[in-house]
Structure 1
Amino acid sequence: MKNLSYYGIVTGVNPDSIAEEIGIEAGDRLLEVNGQKLRDIIDLSFVLADENVELLIEKPNGDQEVIEIEKDYDEDLGIQFESAVFDGIRRCANKCIFCFVDQMAPNMRESLYVKDDDYRMSFLYGNFVTLTNLTEQDFDRIRRLHLSPLYISVHTTDGPTRAKMLNNKNAAKIMEQLTRLTDMGIELHTQVVLCPSVNDGEILEKTIADLYKLSPSVLSLAIVPVGLSRYRDDCYPLDGFTQEQACNIISMVTNWQNKCRTEIDNSFVYLADEFYIAANQPIPEYEMYDDFPQIENGVGLVRDFLAEWESCTEISKGYSKPTYLDVVCGKSAEKIIEPLMAEVRIPNLHIRVVPVENAFFGTRITVTGLLTGQDIVGTLNSLPGERTGVIIPGIALRKGEEVFLDNYKLQDIENQLKVPVHAAYGAAGLHQLLQAWDE
């Protein structure tokens, strides 16, 4: 019997899959495939590229069995794993001055305090990594397996400034590392977490210029503002951006976008929505976001939402009796949602937009995605008047679940408010709930 230090823990199998057919169950451990130990699902995908496969499985009681299967060359086993990495997530070696994990509230679920910096999660799921913990073996594996694209937290290409921001001397080598990756043929999406008087101004100009020189291998650059919660007692002193500062950043980035669209036919550099809201300036038009390469990073969410809303068509004939719906959003989204709701004309429907101030993380956090259940309940309970139901933004919930960051569930809100509560996912989801709440 072999003593293996890492393995894949099965959490489920897909119906009618090979895994179900051969009796693999939740709780089983995948120890080897074709005699090889596997570090992650990347290894697994390569070793499964065969028609004859031998699995070494360990059952929860410790019994091990070898299972031989025949399958199509590109056929998946249909196994769901506890983690995409079997040998443990690669932890962050930095102490970034802007790290939001260091500003997390106490007593939340354990996963929120994990600082991962794993290039495999970058390739698999688009997680941003800093490259400060990459070894020669990692670079070689990225090259051999062509793990592309990767998502890189650059923050600045000025070495000394980056080393200071990440509190890691290895961080200064960023341009060397980026060039090495692009020379391998690896494509990159990059991001800058912008901090006032740290990596903005001339340093930001240099960062954009340096990354643009590496295009088309560098596919995009997102610039997002530093997030500041109220839990910053032992953190580096930082402030948010003023309206004037936001305007200056927009002006710089707009100039670069105009240059890039002329030379390479795309914007290349994109600003997070918060800058336009803080500057009280219009969100750029749809075409300026190209194919929305960094929408998961909060870049272009508002424009995508507006475009989706405009594509929805009226289908409701109205309600037979007065219906009062509260539409919840973050403070920054109020300027976007309020005008849209004001234009809705559905007989007997009364809509109230409820912007929720983030008391949990602090009032400087205004994005909808960081709303908590307790803040939503507190705000709604303070409002007088009729209420038939509540529409919650789905972006505030844990992916695939009905749970907020503070572990509140939708059901908890329903129980406290004593009205139905539903989550709206995107503009189409919101439109559907408004049109057919009774259904």
Structure 2
Amino acid sequence: MKKHEHIVKKVQSGSIAEELGIEPGDRLLEIDGNVIEDIFDYQFYVEAEELVVLVEKPDGEQWEMEIEKEADEGLGIEFEEGLMDEYHSCHNKCIFCFIDQMPPGMRETLYFKDDDSRLSFLQGNYITLTNMSDKDVERIVRYRLEPINISFQTTNPELRCKMLHNRFAGEALKKVDILYQGGIEMNGQIVLCKGVNDGEELERSIRDLTGYLPMLKSVSVVPVGLTKYREGLYPMTPFTKEDAREVIRVIHKWQEKVYKEYGTHFIHAGDEWYLLAEMEVPQEESYDGYLQLENGVGMLRLLFNEFEEAFGKLTGDDRVEELSVATAKLAYPYVDRMARRMQEKYPGLKIHTYCIRNDFFGERITVSGLITGQDLMAQLKDQELGERLLIPCNMLKMDEDIFLDDFTLDEVADTLQVPIDIVKSSGQDFVNAILGIDTRRNRDKQNVKDRRIESV
């Protein structure tokens, strides 16, 4: 396929495209005489109420179609390439990169390092700005593509070059000024590395980043993830309980200062800091509407508050059931607390809660999204699991029932000899799953096969 010729994958039923006779396999060439570079160009040009679309049929015949529609009405076309272009990969060699710390032999897509501003807008990915051209920045401002999520690490240009192992990384920070002046909303992230960008450097970064308020809506500070696969990589030291408490102290100090002036807390500590510090996560009002949930900021507070709201509506009954819940270290204290509360209201419930240690990546990895099937099987094979096992949905691939290590949900259920229910992400979902309401199960219990952990 030639560049900028975009193959139609699907046409939505009842859409403008279907009415015009556009079909899968057709190629989109131009809109209003403009070559479409990627999904951003496409979305920008199709917003017009009147447009001319040039399409090429598989036999080479070209159709030019004049369209009149509502401004917010799409054409109903899906393309074979989601971005209508190749993904932009990362050219940095960051000292904290998680992908560099992954073991060999996993599926190929897990090793792809993206640094694509389009994915920042579409999916919330964080970008370093080093992979962005002046044209990319201009298009973000022109098309109002916001918010853009930026992985800062530090505002010290020399230190940023060192951390990203890219001599242009410091210069790339100037693009933030252009986005700010263009009125583009942003969110930021600092991956904190002990002895590198913490301490005085963290204070400097927070101070500098407050200068981008109010367009920079929030900045999260998260601890570097350290797996056991770091041979030959930049030497890193894990944070201690005392370190975590100091990071939280600095962040809370700046929250208080910024809130007085701007009415927002702005800088936030990832949930992992509170686990490491053995402290409760802050109350909901500290999170400014949960702007960085997907970055692990406020997830535990939101989960528990949603649970409390749902729990308060329950009346309890005399049901009798034994079941189990498995999660990772980060969420375990809150999941266990919620399970105990459910047993208080439903005395006939016997709920076993299990904290799954991450042996695959290493014990310092504490999030449930990185728990593998083999760790579940190895650590639960001799445990009391009851009539069913609950696991969070983020242990599985988004569109398929497989774990990071390619074990399937059914294989894990077969090995453990228990049906597995998948729990969605909210506190209400947790309540529903415990009560057996609206759950998604891997299979019926009678179909579970006898499969031994020794096969792992």
Normalised to the residue count of structure 1, the TM-score between the two structures is 0.92
Q: Match of 2:363?
A: 363
Among 294, 297, 318, the alignment partner of 1:296 is 294
* CA distance in 2 between partners of 1:195 and 1:58 (Å): 54
Alignment of 1:1-400 (within 5 A): 4-22=2-20, 24=22, 29-48=27-46, 49-59=48-58, 65-66=62-63, 68=65, 70=67, 71-312=69-310, 313-314=313-314, 317-319=317-319, 322-345=320-343, 346-383=346-383, 385=384, 387-400=386-399
Q: CA deviation at 1:24?
A: 4.9
> Mean Cα displacement is larger for which, 254-263 or 334-343?
334-343
Tell me if structure 1 keeps the 8 A contact 2:4–2:38: no
Q: Structure 1's 32 and 210: CA in aligned 2 closer, same or farther, altered over 3 A?
A: same
Q: CA deviation at 1:187?
A: 2.0
Which AA in structure 2 matches 1:37? V
* CA distance in 2 between partners of 1:143 and 1:438 (Å): 43
Q: CA deviation at 1:69?
A: 5.9
In the alignment of these two chains, the number of paired residues is 432
Q: CA deviation at 1:11?
A: 4.2
Query: Per the alignment, in what secondary structure is the counterpart of residue 127 of structure 2?
Result: coil
* CA distance in 1 between partners of 2:245 and 2:181 (Å): 36
Q: CA deviation at 1:421?
A: 0.9
Q: Structure 1's 249 and 344: CA in aligned 2 closer, same or farther, altered over 3 A?
A: same
* CA distance in 1 between partners of 2:108 and 2:18 (Å): 31
Q: CA deviation at 1:107?
A: 2.2
Query: Once the two structures are aligned, what percentage of the paired residues are identical?
Result: 40
1:111-165 Cα offsets, whole Å, 9 max, x none, are 2111111112212222111111222222322232232221111000011111000
Tell me if structure 1 keeps the 8 A contact 2:274–2:280: yes
Tell me if structure 2 keeps the 8 A contact 1:32–1:57: no
Query: Per the alignment, in what secondary structure is the counterpart of residue 169 of structure 2?
Result: helix
1:53-108 Cα offsets, whole Å, 9 max, x none, are 4241454xx65552636333321122333443223111212100001111122222
* CA distance in 2 between partners of 1:101 and 1:354 (Å): 27
Tell me if structure 2 keeps the 8 A contact 1:4–1:31: no
Tell me if structure 2 keeps the 8 A contact 1:147–1:186: yes
* CA distance in 1 between partners of 2:281 and 2:293 (Å): 14
Tell me if structure 2 keeps the 8 A contact 1:31–1:38: yes
Tell me if structure 1 keeps the 8 A contact 2:324–2:385: no
Q: CA deviation at 1:278?
A: 0.2
1:8-66 Cα offsets, whole Å, 9 max, x none, are 3444444433344455555554344344332221111122123344241454xx65552
Query: Per the alignment, in what secondary structure is the counterpart of residue 391 of structure 2?
Result: strand
Tell me if structure 1 keeps the 8 A contact 2:324–2:353: yes
* CA distance in 2 between partners of 1:208 and 1:269 (Å): 8
Q: Match of 2:429?
A: 429
* CA distance in 2 between partners of 1:311 and 1:268 (Å): 26
Q: Match of 2:411?
A: 412
Q: Structure 1's 438 and 14: CA in aligned 2 closer, same or farther, altered over 3 A?
A: closer
Q: Which runs of 5+ in 2 are unaligned?
A: 440-456
Query: Per the alignment, in what secondary structure is the counterpart of residue 169 of structure 1?
Result: coil
Q: CA deviation at 1:247?
A: 0.5
> Mean Cα displacement is larger for which, 232-241 or 24-33?
24-33
Which AA in structure 2 matches 1:144? R
Normalised to the residue count of structure 2, the TM-score between the two structures is 0.88
* CA distance in 2 between partners of 1:378 and 1:64 (Å): 59
Which AA in structure 1 matches 2:95? I
Q: Structure 1's 95 and 264: CA in aligned 2 closer, same or farther, altered over 3 A?
A: same
> Mean Cα displacement is larger for which, 43-52 or 99-108?
43-52
